[in-house]
Amino acid sequence: MNCSTAWLALHTLEGGIELTRTPADQADRLAVQLSADLREWGLESAVQTLGLPLEDGTVALMASLRPEFQQTHMPRHNSLNLCSTLGACQEAKPVDEAWALEREIWVALLGSPHRFVFRDLEALKSHVRVRRNMALAARLTALAFKTEAAERPEADWHYEEDPGFILKPGRPLINALIAATQPEATGKLYDFSCYRATEYVILLGIAQELQAHHPALLAELQQLNERHAVRSGQFHEVFLIEYGSMETPLPAHFYVPGDRLWFRNPDERSSDVTGYEGSWVMYMGGGLFSNFWKRDAPFTLESKAIEIFHWKDGVYTDAQGELQMDETVVERLVAQTQADPQARARVLDRMLRMRDPKGVYAEGGCIDTTREYPKSVSREHCDLVLPSF
């Protein structure tokens, strides 16, 4: 294959995993090593690889699911049923939670319509571990339901106007993040928004990976959080990569465990209620999305869509003229819709559409076109650059 043909093939292939710029004499060995690593999850026979020569003399190793495996487990890139089709949800003998989650992440990445690019195999394996950490942390996260409140464990955090909630000196970052988000650590639920909670879950997943595989960067992350919080838009810019777009939306049923994503409220009036513009969640695997307010009742794609649909029915104007949300009305109507197959089908037909562009409230649904995942923190190929304050 000449270089121009290789480049054409590379750019017409879609999805899966790409390991970039492998020395040509190591490409076959890398493919064998990848297959050996996948054997741990019983996936070595599910994957096909292709080495494509690049113009600089290196090789891009492409890995994806074999068509028959893709059709069985991820038809039309639907990853929501992987837990069931792979067997982790059906086996009589309990399967290790972390093991099953890593297997699901591998399959979702390999079957993705978006191509995930990594510098080497170690960077890929680090990425899988970070996603695993995040999904497991999201499953344990629970907050008090106050969308405008801000509270943290006093033993670990203190608040300053500009820096925000910062670590007290000597308080380990990982322990502090767990204390703030996982009530088993302190016996208390803390008040903060679901958006901020996703930041803590992501930061915890990264920090746990750094503790095991990149301790020098963990020390830098610790020092940063003792000086200044990284929040909101800056958090996105520093820590995350967004994939998908309005022009090339991701499939509505494609999610990788560890994705952060947004469900949009397509109703203009109720979206003016603080905290109800939409809903930031983590995809935890197994077809489930985080519910930080009711941890034991995680959302499915359908239940989340139905909840957001009924926000329009729960909105009201209080005595001060401010818009508020009556959650009891929402819960009652959600239950009614779930119990009526025809009503449920109508709501889902309306909601499981791609969202309208920003500022537009027309025929779009609640499904966003993009997802987010952390930048590489692999020791040899780290893309994370921490800011200075």
Q: Give the helix/strand (H/E) hosting 232.
A: helix 232-239
Domain ranges of the chain: 138-374
Collapse the DSSP code of 123 into the 3-class scheme (helix H, G, I; strand E, B; otherwise coil) and give the result.
helix
One-letter-per-residue 3-state SS of 197-211: HHHHHHHHHHHHHHH
Separation between Cα atoms, residue 311 and residue 293, nearest integer Å = 16
Above 60 in pLDDT, residue 343?
A: yes
Strand partners, 324: 316
pLDDT band at 7 (very low <50, low <70, confident <90, very high): very low
What are the structure tokens assigned to 43, written together?
């996936």
Can you read off the two tokens belonging to residue 288?
Answer: 């489930």
Is 90 exceeded by the pLDDT of residue 91? no
Average pLDDT on 87-91 reads: 58
- Is 362 in contact with 277 (CB distance < 8 Å)? no
SS3 45: helix
Cα–Cα distance for residue pair 354/252, rounded to 1 Å: 7
The token pair at 268 is 């203009």
> φ, ψ for residue 10 (rounded to 5)?
-60, -40
Model pLDDT, residue 145: 72
Over the stretch 97-142, which tens digit does the pLDDT of each residue have? 999 999 999 999 999 999 999 999 999 999 999 999 999 999 999 9
Edge-to-edge strand ranges of the sheet holding 47-53: 47-53, 58-65, 17-23, 116-118
Average pLDDT for the chain: 92
Name the percent of the chain lying above pLDDT 90.
85
Q: To 5 degrees, how large is the angle CA 362–CA 363–CA 366?
A: 100
Rounded CA gap, 328 and 334, in Å? Answer: 10
Tokens of 225: 């959080």
Mind giving me the DSSP string for 295-344? TTSPBPHHHHHHHHHTHHHHEEE-TTS-EEE-HHHHHHHHHHHHH-HHHH
pLDDT at 354 over 50: yes
Cα angle vertex 155, ends 152, 161, to 5°? Answer: 50
Q: State which amino acid sits at residue 134.
A: M
Dist CA 109 CA 259 (whole Å): 11
Q: What is the mean pLDDT of residues 4-30?
A: 74
pLDDT tens digit sequence for 137-185? 999 999 987 656 678 999 999 999 999 999 999 999 999 999 999 999 9
Quote the tokens at residue 327.
Answer: 């959650």
The H or E element containing residue 174 is helix 173-181
> pLDDT > 70: what percent of the chain?
94
Tokens of 83: 């837990």
**Do 119 and 20 touch, CB atoms closer than 8 A?**
yes
